[in-house]
Amino acid sequence: MNIKDYKNVWIFAQAQRGKLSPTAYELLTAGRKLADDLHEKLCAVLLGHNVQNFAQDLISHGADVVYVCDDPALENYMDDTYARVLAELVAQYKPNKFLIPATNMGRSLSAKTAVFVGTGLTADATDVTINPADGQLHATRPTFGGNLMATITCAKTRPEMCSLRPMAYEKAPAQTGRKGEVIAFKFDATKYVSPLAKFVEFIQSKEGGLDLSEAEVIVAGGRGVGSKDGFKLLEKLATRLGGAVGASRGPVDSGWIDYRYQIGLTGRTVKPKLYIACGISGQIQHMAGMSGANVIVAINKDPNAPIMKAAHFALEGDLHEVIPAMLEVLH
């Protein structure tokens, strides 16, 4: 592998069920900085069915080139098939860096693609930069339960791949009238469809509610909530405020709430306008996942809890008394 043959920064624009994931705009922000530092182009990759219409949107938000593989066979995500298509694209166009969102899809896709390509992957990074000395990608991610931050490089193979946490970067703004190139890539079922697996059925989650990544208001609970039933009180407040429920690691480990609600280094990163932390002590691992909130309100019986010092508004008291009082006011 001659790494000098590899040029340009790529991002994977995740699209599913007729929607372009907001992570695409976040990766365009991260990728634009890398591409500018390297004096290379920023390219986006779109896979799926009826995704061609997203290409101009990606160009408007910063992509110089968009590679599109649009085929009915790609309507439902299959990691093996998608990874084979990406590997073929990489082999043909030779990108220098490749960013993929660390979503449920992206975590699986990035790992399998890296294996097919024969390159390294930094998973779940929170920050990416270019080393000006040698042009290598420096991908930073938490390790040892969030107690250390590791910067990882991939010196000998290309592309340097990284899955980047959602909400780690702001969304790239749209630029009216921006021009770019769209390159169609033909899907070949004989090359890309694996005989080892097939798509059977998509089952929508029965649990409704607003997704954490979209919520402008989040009401999150820690061990101070006390039990699974305690989260019902938080749900009432979140519903009244038009927001979503979240949690620190403790309640998730205790089985009070599902993992998809976990916020922190080992969970989701969020940036709501209002974050209400209920019974959360505020350890560094949790703070790293929500410190980007515009306004933080903490409810805790311990005035010396770390979250109380980090909050814009700290309410000392029992959340089981404070939240009902808030609901009275918010009737």
Domain map of the chain by residue range? 3-192, 217-329
The β-bridge partners of 141 are 150
Asked if residue 167 lies in contact with residue 215, where contact means CB atoms within 8 angstroms, the answer is no
| CATH code given to domain 3-192 | 3.40.50.620
Place of tokens 């305690």: 230
Around Cβ 93, how many Cβ atoms within 10 Å?
18
The whole-number mean pLDDT for each consecutive block of 10 residues of the chain, a chain of 331 residues, reads 94 94 96 98 97 97 98 93 96 98 93 96 94 96 77 96 92 95 94 87 72 88 94 95 95 94 87 95 89 93 94 95 94 74
Q: Round to whole Å and give the CA distance between 70 and 6.
A: 25
DSSP 172-207: PPP-TT---EEEE----HHHH--TT---------S-
Three-class secondary structure of residue 57 per DSSP: helix
pLDDT for 195: 82
C-alpha distances out from residue 283 to 220, 221, 289, Å: 14, 13, 11
Asked if residue 79 lies in contact with residue 198, where contact means CB atoms within 8 angstroms, the answer is no
pLDDT for 204: 76
| CATH code given to domain 217-329 | 3.40.50.1220
Position 167: which residue type?
M
Q: How far apart are the first and last CA of the chain?
A: 65
Position 64: which residue type?
D
Establish whether domains 3-192 and 217-329 are of one fold: yes
What is the CA angle 195-203-46, rounded to 5?
60
pLDDT for 207: 61
pLDDT for 162: 97
Predicted TM-score (pTM) of the model is 0.83
Q: b/e string for 16-53 if b means 16 or more Cβ within 10 A?
A: eeeebbbbbbbbbbbbbebbeebebbbbbbbbbbebee
